[in-house]
Amino acid sequence: MKKQPGFVIKFNPKPAPGLTITVSLLSIMLGGCSIAPSVNVLGAFFPDWMFCIIAALILTSVIHRVFVACAWNEQLSKLTMSLLYIALYTTFAFGTWLIFFQN
C-alpha cells in the first residue's frame, strides 16, 4: 500500500516583528474592562461564562463529529488533535461571550 502524506506543521520559534508590542498593548487596554459578567435568570444571577462553556462544549462536539465523519482525526496525531480541541473550545467559549453577552 502506498502511504499518503500527512499534515506537516512547521514551528517557527521567532515571533513576527512587532507581535510582542502588539500583544502587550492589547493586554494593557483590556485591563480596563470593568463590567461584571452576570445575567439575571429568574431572579438569580448566573455568570455568563456558564452559558458560554455549555455552548462551547456543544459546538466542539459538533466539530468532533465532523472530523470523525471526514476521517480527519486519523490523519493527525493525538497530541495535535488534543491541542486543536482545546483551541476550538476556547475560541467557541470566547466567541459566544462576545456574540451574546457583550455590553
Q: What is the largest CA-CA distance in the chain?
A: 64
pLDDT in tens, 9-56: 666 666 666 777 787 777 777 766 656 556 666 655 667 778 888 999
- What pLDDT is attached to residue 71? 85
- What pLDDT is attached to residue 19? 74
Q: What is the mean pLDDT of residues 69-83?
A: 87
Q: What is the pTM of this model?
A: 0.55
Percent pLDDT > 90 in the chain is 22
Long-range contacts of 79-87 (CB under 8 A, 24+ apart): 80/7, 80/9, 85/60
- Which grid coordinates belong to 102? 457583550
Residue pair 97/49 in contact by the 8 Å Cβ criterion: yes
List, in sequence order, every beta strand (DSSP E) within 36-103.
38-41, 44-47
Mean pLDDT (the chain, rounded): 78
- 69 vs 95: CA distance, rounded Å: 25
- What pLDDT is attached to residue 3? 58
Q: Which neighbouring-strand residues pair with 38? A: 47
Which helix (H) or strand (E) segment holds residue 37: the answer is none
